[in-house]
Amino acid sequence: MGEKIKVGVIGAGRIGKIHAGNIVKNFPDVEVKAIADIYADTIREWAKGLGIANVYADYKEIIADPEIKAVVICSSTDTHSQITIEAAEAGKHIFCEKPIDFDVRRIHAALDAVKKAGVKFQVGFNRRFDHNFKKVKELIQSGEIGDVQIVKVTSRDPAPPPIEYVKVSGGMFLDMTIHDFDMVRYLTGSEVTEVYANAGIMVDQAIGKAGDVDTALISLKFQNGAIGVIDNCRQAVYGYDQRVEVLGTKGGISVSNDVPTNVVVSTKQSVAADKPKYFFLERYMESFETEMREFFASIAAGKDTPVSGIDGLKPVLIGLAAQKSYKEGTLVRLEE
Amino acid sequence: MGEKIKVGVIGAGRIGKIHAGNIVKNFPDVEVKAIADIYADTIREWAKGLGIANVYADYKEIIADPEIKAVVICSSTDTHSQITIEAAEAGKHIFCEKPIDFDVRRIHAALDAVKKAGVKFQVGFNRRFDHNFKKVKELIQSGEIGDVQIVKVTSRDPAPPPIEYVKVSGGMFLDMTIHDFDMVRYLTGSEVTEVYANAGIMVDQAIGKAGDVDTALISLKFQNGAIGVIDNCRQAVYGYDQRVEVLGTKGGISVSNDVPTNVVVSTKQSVAADKPKYFFLERYMESFETEMREFFASIAAGKDTPVSGIDGLKPVLIGLAAQKSYKEGTLVRLEE
Amino acid sequence: MGEKIKVGVIGAGRIGKIHAGNIVKNFPDVEVKAIADIYADTIREWAKGLGIANVYADYKEIIADPEIKAVVICSSTDTHSQITIEAAEAGKHIFCEKPIDFDVRRIHAALDAVKKAGVKFQVGFNRRFDHNFKKVKELIQSGEIGDVQIVKVTSRDPAPPPIEYVKVSGGMFLDMTIHDFDMVRYLTGSEVTEVYANAGIMVDQAIGKAGDVDTALISLKFQNGAIGVIDNCRQAVYGYDQRVEVLGTKGGISVSNDVPTNVVVSTKQSVAADKPKYFFLERYMESFETEMREFFASIAAGKDTPVSGIDGLKPVLIGLAAQKSYKEGTLVRLEE
Amino acid sequence: MGEKIKVGVIGAGRIGKIHAGNIVKNFPDVEVKAIADIYADTIREWAKGLGIANVYADYKEIIADPEIKAVVICSSTDTHSQITIEAAEAGKHIFCEKPIDFDVRRIHAALDAVKKAGVKFQVGFNRRFDHNFKKVKELIQSGEIGDVQIVKVTSRDPAPPPIEYVKVSGGMFLDMTIHDFDMVRYLTGSEVTEVYANAGIMVDQAIGKAGDVDTALISLKFQNGAIGVIDNCRQAVYGYDQRVEVLGTKGGISVSNDVPTNVVVSTKQSVAADKPKYFFLERYMESFETEMREFFASIAAGKDTPVSGIDGLKPVLIGLAAQKSYKEGTLVRLEE
């Protein structure tokens, strides 16, 4: 075991705490040297419990620390691109939560800075590292089901977010479907060329008043000829619904939901199984650790990260196309 | 038990033989008095085995028989509308295999004749009577899942039909998806208002040369605000794939495939279950009997049939819209 | 098609009516020439509806009819052996509902008569012909799971029979488990050598007062070294529970219950599937037709029937051993 | 957060390392002050990686450390009772891996020492803390399925252990079934009163030569009137098979195996799902952490541990009865 790589975590909200905790507990070769949050005082006790030495209110102290070789950016979305640029210029490797930005020019600016600095850059599309979806990808790559013809993603939240969040989230296509746009790119290994968003407001009229939709079917064409559909809903009362199906020329693959237990109860009323895991952190907990492990492995081995800057950019472009499709009631072609 | 109702079956291909056999074996109140087929000689032995007294080469002999109160039209599609008109004018109740016709004017002519004659008319959308899908409909109607938001139909054949059939079938949207268009109307209880067909040729280039597609995702809007998607493929190598999913405001429903047995074999290689029933006749056998039972029950009770002339017309209109959408690469709105 | 084989059905209770109906509807080569029931008047209308020409109060009229080549014995159990003897002496092939008798000497007398007459004889262990269990047998025979080590049968009724029936049924081991004793012999292809019945009265004390048990685990040893267990209950409130599991040196097989539909409903409360088919006639309907088809095929081909006289005898011997084991609280070895 | 409770881990084999790792990573209130292993040199590097300060070859150094308030005994089975006695006399709380001992007198001696010292004592029956089985227990306790009638445990290893282990393991009933004996006591909340072990050698004759069996069905009676069966096999080629079924007067419960992923692949050959998790550490990993959490919670709250000394004793008594039953070919009653 050589010297530990020192890392700084920027932003200690829900996901920042998860990443910091995972690194401290499970990565003996990595040290969280510092964590920065604008509400630094509220996290001091928690950071101490994890043995994190430095808590800053200003992330720039992390950027300025030459010992820190990598940053994990978990601050609010509007700060991602700016922090990315500063960290890249300081020569630090970067793990950045998704999305990089909602503004395509700012994404390009961030990716340009990364490229110029030659640092590693990974976007937090954690679902690629989920045990189920990773296996689907492996099966497709192995040729088990031949050429992909149809990919279907079901992605529904158990309950809508607060209206205040809906107003600033960038809209369902950018805050929720963005994960699914990444998933279809990941699974097909091909780029989306055409989008048609069929959507409506069926869960809560307040969501419509806030300018968003709550239920959608997004029809997709891919460069390799495959076609796909994503269905989203802000509310699936039975729990967090995260499934994928792929049809290929030699077979099909399907993934059902993870459940808390495999217990089935048979009574006069029904044969009842567990509902899907309800909360995204519970459902995807393992993937947060795996993506981070891959990030540090990429640094250690000097190889490409598994989720590149382009992987961060493309889903935003597809999301913007979906927004346009819905608003104008037309198909939207993505430019090459 | 009163006098048996006498019926004539027109067309003794695969489905005609099934209907005739079901009536003879299972409907003690109905008598198949005659069967007509242009290849009359080839079916005499079979008809005799069932105890059917009269075999004609010309269906007009059935039309002309005043004892025959109902006809079951199973001849080739291009004859459906004409025979319907003649049967209606002769005052006979009509069960007509789907589709009524590919020509909308001819469908209207047939339905007009039915209306004028005041006879019962039922279209052979048998899947409505399938044990699984009937239960989905009942659950939706009971309010179990609240208002329908999303309906998804997966409908894939195990293997493509002969190219000769593809050339004359009217195209996948009219020969295959037509059942699914009926299914979504049945399940939602609402009319389709907009269609977008995303499709391609991925199974066999010969299908493309014949002017058809073999893989499709059809995105739909409904009058009641719901949205839906149908996915079709001419070939699912694992078998006949017939599933439905519905998301509503109070819950979700899903239907998996029927299987020959529930046997699961666990070995070093895998945990393997049966593939779906492969053949549509095996999969839907029970529904052919049930639809026929409902037809005769409607006659006996003087009530509306469960699949009306409009139910025969609408899927053709949606199918034509899907064709247009695919060919022009646009959304197509259906006129009221 | 040659001349139809003429058959007489003896006993027109529930199962007699099913067999008669299946033959009339589905077996074009067989004619039900007569049916006998001590309550002849109550079945005349039903028999007429099926086109059965002769209805007798006395089964001896069937025995005496030289045109009748085979009998289907569905009368009460206490008459099976006597009618078998008379039918055999009259040279008729015999399908006999299970059990042949509860008295082992009378079974031997019946089987001796059958042997002497050289007629075909089949016992009504219909579950061997069930789509699920037949496939399990085929997989075992094919060597798919290697040598059988453990066989487990779950066999539970949805609700207990009337106490009046319990009093005369011969006891749970002989009226219910007898099917399972046949199943384990069928699946393992080996004879039971040792029985231990672990049982109790947990559903209804009245069953205990009637001298019977309502819940049991019967542990078995087989001649080929395998071991097995059957669990029974007079009441499974969720429905008719009919499952099998086999462990072999190369794999395992399991069979879950047949369900009315594959519909799954997900709500805030649960993810609920259909309960097992509730009624044994619904669950095993297909097997009643198949066993009869095999019976007539054996006659036509002059080959052995698939369920022999020994197959009728052995489960009674095992059942009697289980009774003894329970009453004496010991293991019981079966004599060779 | 008060002062950390200091703990010593005795024995750093597979399970000792797991417990130590779990405590270090996940229990901020507990400190592993020392670890003892007779091969101390082989674990120094590993211990250092976890930040464990002291590594001893002799567990007595842990016993002698007054700062250490609790010990986790993971050494070889033959040392458990002696170390328990010494730890108890030193006033330390004790978590002891199962079994306490194979010699009933030594178990009593250990439990007497624990009682006299008034320290907490918990036995490592980790499966009680598994997400699936814990839920089964909760459902039974809640009355959801009424009174328990039948409990069935399937417990099969993926592959047999080395013959060298078989020779010293105490035999299958004591090294493998012991977990299942605990499970049925846990689930039924009742004591076993009678045992019949039906077993054989079907996997490997070498196991028989070593004096053990490899396949077994153990039939059980419980004090509350319920009956049960455990089936074991040293080898299930498809993976680690860990299931439970319970039938009660108001319903049934079943637990299927945990799988690595929910991916299902449908091809021309089959519809294939994942095999069960193969390795017991993978399958039960979460339960090892939970049992330890409960142990320290019991200490902190001054309440009884969830797996008592009696819970450690009883499964050994049942296992010895099963051995006797198998060897003598009789039922064995357990004394009160």
* Residue pLDDT, tens place only, B134-162: 999 999 999 999 999 999 999 999 999 99
User: In terms of Cα–Cα distance, which of A70, A27, A335 is closest to A193?
Assistant: A335
Q: How far is CA B97 from the centre of its chain?
A: 7
User: Which of the residues C26, C265, C287 would you substitute to probe the B interface, choosing the one with the greatest number of B C-beta atoms within 10 Å?
Assistant: C265
| Closest CB from C198, C247, C250 relative to D221 | C198
Q: What amino acid is encoded at C3 in this protein?
A: E
In a domain? residue B286: no
In a domain? residue D294: no
In tens, the pLDDT along A185-211 reads: 999 999 999 999 999 999 999 999 999
State how far the alpha carbon of C102 is from the alpha carbons of A273, C164, D243, in Å: 42, 18, 37
In tens, the pLDDT along A152-168 reads: 999 999 999 999 999 98
In a domain? residue D297: no
Claim to verify: residue D194 and residue D270 sit in the same structural domain: yes
Exposure string for C112-149, b = 16+ CB within 10 A, e = fewer: ebbeebebbbbbbbbbbbbbbbbbbbebbeeeebeebb
Q: Identify the sign of the CA torsion B71, B74, B78, B79.
A: negative
In a domain? residue D124: no
Q: What is the mean pLDDT of residues C259-280?
A: 95
Claim to verify: residue C203 and residue C176 sit in the same structural domain: yes
- Residue D58 lies in domain: 5-119
Rounded CA-CA distance B113/B87 in Å is 9
Q: What amino acid is encoded at D278 in this protein?
A: Y
User: What is the Cα gyration radius of chain C?
Assistant: 20
Reduce the DSSP state of residue C138 to 3 states and report it: helix
In a domain? residue A304: no
ipTM of the complex: 0.95
Q: Identify the sign of the CA torsion C293, C295, C297, C299.
A: negative
Rounded CA-CA distance C233/C216 in Å is 6
Claim to verify: residue C133 and residue C106 sit in the same structural domain: no
State how far the alpha carbon of A98 is from the alpha carbons of A75, A160, B150, in Å: 10, 20, 28
Answer with the one of A82, A99, A119 that is the final residue of a domain: A119
For residue B99, say if its preceding peptide bond is cis, omega within 30 degrees of 0. Answer: yes
- Furthest-apart CA atoms within chain D: distance in Å: 67
CATH code of the domain covering residue D269? 3.30.360.10
Q: Residues 6 or more apart from C258 whose CB is under 8 A from it?
A: B262, C132, C242, C276, C277, C283
Tell me what pLDDT residue D3 has: 82
Claim to verify: residue D207 and residue D255 sit in the same structural domain: yes
Give the phi and the psi of residue A123 in degrees, each rounded to 5.
Answer: -95, 145
CA angle D230, D235, D240 (to 5 degrees): 75
Tell me what pLDDT residue A336 has: 61
Tell me what pLDDT residue C22 has: 95
In a domain? residue D303: no
Q: State whether C275 and A272 contact (CB < 8 Å).
A: no
Claim to verify: residue D183 and residue D327 sit in the same structural domain: yes
Q: Identify the sign of the CA torsion D65, D66, D72, D73.
A: positive
Tell me what pLDDT residue A1 has: 45
Which of the residues in chain D have pLDDT under 50?
Answer: 1
Answer with the one of C119, C153, C172 that is the final residue of a domain: C119
Judged against a pLDDT cut of 70, whether residue B186 lies above it is answered with yes
Claim to verify: residue D178 and residue D321 sit in the same structural domain: yes
Tell me what pLDDT residue C133 has: 98
Q: How far is CA C14 from the centre of its chain?
A: 14
For residue C139, which residues of chain B lie inside 8 Å, CB to CB? Answer: 263, 265
Q: State whether D221 and C241 contact (CB < 8 Å).
A: no
Q: State whether D215 and C330 contact (CB < 8 Å).
A: no
Instruction: Give the mean pLDDT of chain B.
Output: 96
| Closest CB from D238, D268, D269 relative to B266 | D238
Claim to verify: residue A160 and residue A178 sit in the same structural domain: yes
Rounded CA-CA distance B332/D129 in Å is 57
Tell me what pLDDT residue D336 has: 61
For residue D315, say if its preceding peptide bond is cis, omega within 30 degrees of 0. Answer: no
| Closest CB from A217, A238, A249 relative to B202 | A249
CATH code of the domain covering residue D78? 3.40.50.720
Tell me what pLDDT residue C335 has: 79
State how far the alpha carbon of B129 is from the alpha carbons of A326, B186, B190, C265, in Å: 36, 11, 18, 19
**Lowest mean per-residue pLDDT among A90-94, A126-130, A281-285, B52-56:** A281-285
pLDDT band at C1 (very low <50, low <70, confident <90, very high): very low
Q: State whether A250 and D267 contact (CB < 8 Å).
A: yes
In a domain? residue C157: yes
In tens, the pLDDT along C167-178 reads: 988 999 999 999
Tell me what pLDDT residue C336 has: 61
Instruction: Please state the length of chain A.
Output: 336
In tens, the pLDDT along A42-75 reads: 999 999 989 999 999 999 999 999 999 999 999 9
Please count the helices (runs of H) and the strands (runs of E) in chain A: 12, 15
Tell me what pLDDT residue B141 has: 98
Q: How many independent structural domains does chain A possess? A: 2
Tell me what pLDDT residue D279 has: 87
The separation between the first and the last C-alpha atoms of chain C, rounded to the nearest angstrom, is 46
Tell me what pLDDT residue D189 has: 97
Answer with the one of B74, B99, B119 that is the final residue of a domain: B119
Residue A299 has which token pair? 């640094």
In tens, the pLDDT along B323-332 reads: 999 999 999 9
Claim to verify: residue D172 and residue D319 sit in the same structural domain: yes
Strand partners, B148: B248
Q: How many CB pairs under 8 A join A and D?
A: 85
Q: What is the mean pLDDT of residues A18-33?
A: 94
Chain D interface, Cβ < 8 Å to C: 147, 149-150, 152, 156, 194, 196, 198-200, 202-203, 215-217, 219-221, 225-229, 231, 233, 235-238, 241, 247, 249-252, 329-331
pLDDT band at A2 (very low <50, low <70, confident <90, very high): low
Residues C98 and C89: beta-carbon distance below 8 Å: no
Q: What is the mean pLDDT of residues A268-276?
A: 96
Q: Residues 6 or more apart from A301 whose CB is under 8 A from it?
A: none
| Closest CB from D139, D257, D265 relative to A139 | D265
Judged against a pLDDT cut of 80, whether residue C2 lies above it is answered with no
Q: What is the mean pLDDT of residues B124-135?
A: 98
In tens, the pLDDT along C276-314 reads: 998 888 899 999 999 999 999 999 999 999 999 999 999
Claim to verify: residue C151 and residue C236 sit in the same structural domain: yes
Tell me what pLDDT residue D194 has: 98
DSSP for D280-327, written as a single string: HHHHHHHHHHHHHHHHHHHHHHT---SS-HHHHHHHHHHHHHHHHHHH
Q: State whether A238 and C268 contact (CB < 8 Å).
A: yes
| Closest CB from A255, A258, A261 relative to D135 | A261
Tell me what pLDDT residue B1 has: 45
Reduce the DSSP state of residue B16 to 3 states and report it: helix
**In the block, which residue shows the tokens 């008729």?**
C92
Q: What amino acid is encoded at B321 in this protein?
A: A
CA angle A242, A197, A320 (to 5 degrees): 90
Claim to verify: residue C76 and residue C16 sit in the same structural domain: yes
In tens, the pLDDT along B39-65 reads: 999 999 999 989 999 999 999 999 999
In a domain? residue A296: no
Claim to verify: residue A181 and residue A321 sit in the same structural domain: yes
**In the block, which residue shows the tokens 């998860």?**
A18
Claim to verify: residue D231 and residue D175 sit in the same structural domain: yes
User: In terms of Cα–Cα distance, which of D306, B171, B254, D131 is closest to A243?
Assistant: B254
Q: State whether C217 and D147 contact (CB < 8 Å).
A: no
Q: State whether C237 and D251 contact (CB < 8 Å).
A: yes
